[in-house]
Every structure is written in C-alpha cells, then in structure tokens.
C-alpha cells in the first residue's frame, strides 16, 4: 500500500481511464495494488513550450496574453503539492504520492467514484436539485471553505466540476492550482465555531481560535502559514498585505472584484458558492453571456435573476451574489442564515446517508470518455504528450471540452482596467 506523500514509480500504477483534462494537465483513474487513486499529470514539455512562445513573442515586440512564466507555472504546481500535504479534513483530498520524471509531474490523491457535482446535477430529471439537497451540499461546501480559510487559503475556483462526490456520498473539493495564501491579521475571539469540532486537525483544536481583519487594497500575496480560523466580516479594515491581485478563476464563476482588478480575499469564495448554488437551483449559471466579455459585463452590472417565489434559499443566494465584497454575507452570517435554520453543524459530516451515495462497484463514468476506458492500462506519458501536442487521433472528453471552450481561459484582457496585471488565467 502506498504511503502518503511518497514518491511514486509510474511503473507501479495502472491507468484505467481518463477522468478529465485541464489547461495544462490530464487526470487519470489509476490502480495501485488494491487502491484506486486519481492521478493529475502535468506535461513539462507543454510548460516549456508555452514559456518559449511567450519569450519569442516578447522578443518580436508582440504583446502576449500569456504573462505566466515557466517559473510562475512551476510555482503554482509546487504550491498545490504543498497545500495538499497540509490537508487533514474529510472534505478535502490527501496527497498520496508524487511523480516527477523528465517528461511529467504528477500528484496522486483520493479517488471519488461518484463523479463531480455537475455530472450528478445533469442526471436529475429536471437537471437541478431540490432545496433540501442543496442545503446539504451547501453546508458541506461552507465547512470545506471555512477550513481552507482557516489555513489562510483562498480557493478561487469553486465550480461544480471541482466538487466531487465521495464513495460515502459526502463531497470533496479538488484542484487547488488556482488557490493562493494570503496573510491575515487577527484578533482573539472567545467562542468556538461548531464546525471546529468536525475538523480533525489537532493543532486547530488546541489553538485559541482567531478571526482575520482583512483588507480590500491592491496588494501582493502574503505567505503566512496561519492555521487560524477566520470568522470576521469581510468589510473590516484591511491592509495591503492581506489581498491578492491575481486575475484568476473560471469565467462564469469569477467574482466581480477579480474582474475589476481591485484586489480580493476570502470573500471571492462566497461569491463562487452563490454561483454554484444558483446553478444547482436553476440548472444554469446566472451571468453567462454570448462571449467572455458579455459574461464579465453581466457579472459586474446585472442583478442575478432569482426567478420564483421568495424563499430562504433565494435570499441566501442573493446575499452571496452581492457585488460589493464589503457588503457580501460572511461566514458567521452564512451559518446563521434562515436557509440553515435547524441545521446541526457539528453533525453534518457524521450523516451516514447523504442524498446521493454512489454504488460501491461504480466505475467512474461521470465526465469520462468511454473510448478512454481500457483494460490493459493507458501509457500515461505518451497520452499526455499526444494530448498537449495537438494530435487529432486522441480525443479527450471531446464534447465536454467543446462545451467548456469559453470556460478555460489562458489569457484575457481586463475589460475594466488598464493596469499591467490584467490577464486572466486558468492553470
């Protein structure tokens, strides 16, 4: 059995299927002895080629939308590895091992046989979930985000495709390459959040809990290794070092403050939660336009169309989708909202029968190309090389990727500012 965080020999893994593809990597379902894992593999040659193309364009005086250097990209890769090592929570993956060869970099994490939340929603008869089911999923996402924020981590890419369903029916957040850490100033508070009791980190249980006084100023990214538990309003006084200016996310889920380039903090994740819950309720995202620029314009200017009778859920979504981050609902208000009335936060993770429990023998089929399921195993290195060198003979989630072509954004000019840091990245 593989020991956590150890270096993996690719020869000891059997790649069974392709689970998905991102901008620079492919995720495989792999078998290691009796253990099934998800293996995220990034092509080194692809990273090098992108860096060379950027350099060549700059030498020719051509403006490039690619501002990420090879160093920047590897910094993101190692950041994801490091945060995976930190996690000790039932709704977040554990790093099972690392692969580093001349051709690829790979991370093995927990495998979720229930697929992602987007695939699960589309299997529903109305392509949407009931309020009660949304309440369960929303509560687990709040718990997961609270834990991340307690580590000083802003997730920044909350979307259904990054929310997996575990074998036990509980959720798991994956894909942390767009996440970042921000420094936090904090002050003592006496009360312990109910959610703290469900977090397995001994250090978090021992320490006196704290909440941050965050800032909304243009700033760089801090590097605090804080494991404090933030529970403050986001409109507190904030300092320059407690904001990120990175222009990252996925098009339809990105918060308005990221688009406007004024810096952002933990509250962008609550905006993302609002978009995800809206999609669960209505079967579509609230601001999608005919193109990227129109989508961003809608995010910045339009009120989300919360069609239907006034309910606690619609009120909750509206408060999450507040465009002004200083007025957006914060953690403690979220947990106290009417939508969660009667919910025992201490027992959410102890529920033995979540709304959807995958079959024990289910082979991952959500979002997986049937042609990519094999008996004898996939040659991971060859497959990744072919995918990122544009070979037409191999099709990876053809229909899904076509559908998402406006979602995965390599570089995008900021429509509202003229500052130099105005590119939009999906790594």
Quick: pLDDT tens for 165-192: 999 999 999 999 899 999 764 322 223 2
User: What pLDDT shows up at residue 222?
Assistant: 29
C-alpha–C-alpha distance, residues 272 and 366, integer Å: 22
> What residue ranges of the chain have pLDDT lower than 70?
1-5, 51, 53-68, 184-249, 361-376, 390-427
3-state SS, residue 18: strand
DSSP assignments along 213-250, one per residue:
----S--------------S-TTS---GGG-B---BS-
Mean pLDDT score of the chain:
77
User: Contact at 8 Å (CB) between 329 and 318?
Assistant: no
> H or E stretch including 153?
strand 153-154
> H or E stretch including 105?
strand 104-110
Domains of the chain: 6-111+364-396 (3.30.200.20), 117-350 (1.10.510.10)
User: What pLDDT shows up at residue 2?
Assistant: 53
Verify whether residue 131 is a known catalytic residue: no
Express each pLDDT in 133-165 by its tens digit: 999 999 999 999 999 999 999 999 999 999 999
DSSP assignments along 20-70, one per residue:
EE-SSEEEEEEEETTEEEEEEEEEHHHHHHHHHHHHHHHHTT---S----H
Tokens 């082979």 correspond to what residue? 363
Catalytic residue among 9, 72, 116, 157: 157
Entry pTM:
0.75
User: Contact at 8 Å (CB) between 214 and 232?
Assistant: yes
């Amino acid at each position: 059995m593989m020991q956590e965080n150890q270096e993996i020999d690719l020869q000891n893994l059997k790649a069974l299927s392709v689970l998905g593809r991102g901008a620079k990597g492919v995720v495989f379902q792999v078998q290691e002895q009796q253990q099934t894992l998800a293996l995220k593999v990034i092509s080194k040659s692809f990273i090098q080629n992108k860096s060379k193309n950027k350099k060549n364009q700059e030498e020719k005086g051509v403006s490039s939308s690619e501002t990420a250097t090879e160093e920047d990209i590897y910094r993101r890769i190692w950041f994801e590895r490091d945060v995976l090592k930190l996690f000790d929570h039932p709704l977040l993956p554990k790093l099972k091992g690392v692969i580093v060869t001349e051709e690829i970099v790979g991370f093995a994490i927990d495998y979720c046989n229930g697929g992602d939340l987007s695939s699960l929603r589309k299997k529903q008869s109305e392509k949407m979930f009931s309020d009660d089911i949304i309440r369960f999923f929303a509560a687990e996402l709040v718990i997961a985000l609270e834990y991340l924020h307690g580590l000083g981590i802003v997730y920044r890419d909350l979307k259904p495709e990054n929310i997996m369903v575990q074998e036990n029916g509980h959720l798991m957040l994956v894909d942390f390459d767009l996440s970042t850490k921000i420094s936090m100033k904090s002050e003592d508070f006496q009360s312990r959040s109910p959610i703290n009791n469900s977090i397995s980190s001994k250090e978090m249980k021992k320490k006196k809990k704290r909440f941050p006084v965050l800032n909304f100023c243009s700033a760089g990214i801090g590097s605090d290794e804080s494991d404090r538990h933030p529970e403050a309003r986001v409109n507190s006084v904030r300092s320059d070092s407690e904001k990120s200016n990175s222009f990252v996310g996925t098009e339809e889920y990105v918060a308005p403050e990221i688009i406007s380039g004024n810096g952002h903090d933990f509250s962008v994740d609550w905006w993302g939660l609002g978009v995800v819950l809206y999609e669960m309720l209505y079967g579509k995202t609230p601001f999608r336009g005919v193109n990227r620029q129109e989508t961003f314009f809608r995010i910045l200017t339009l009120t989300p169309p919360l069609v239907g009778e006034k309910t606690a859920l619609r009120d909750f979504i509206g408060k999450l989708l507040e465009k002004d981050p200083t007025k957006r609902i914060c953690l403690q208000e979220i947990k106290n909202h009417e939508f969660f009335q009667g919910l025992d936060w201490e027992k959410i993770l102890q529920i033995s029968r979540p709304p959807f429990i995958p079959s024990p023998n289910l082979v991952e089929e959500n979002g997986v190309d049937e042609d990519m399921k094999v008996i004898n195993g996939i040659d991971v290195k060859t497959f990744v090389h072919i995918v990122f060198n544009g070979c037409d003979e191999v099709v990876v989630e053809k229909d899904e990727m076509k559908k998402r072509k406006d979602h995965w954004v390599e570089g995008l000019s900021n429509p509202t500012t003229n500052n130099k840091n105005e590119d939009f990245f999906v790594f």
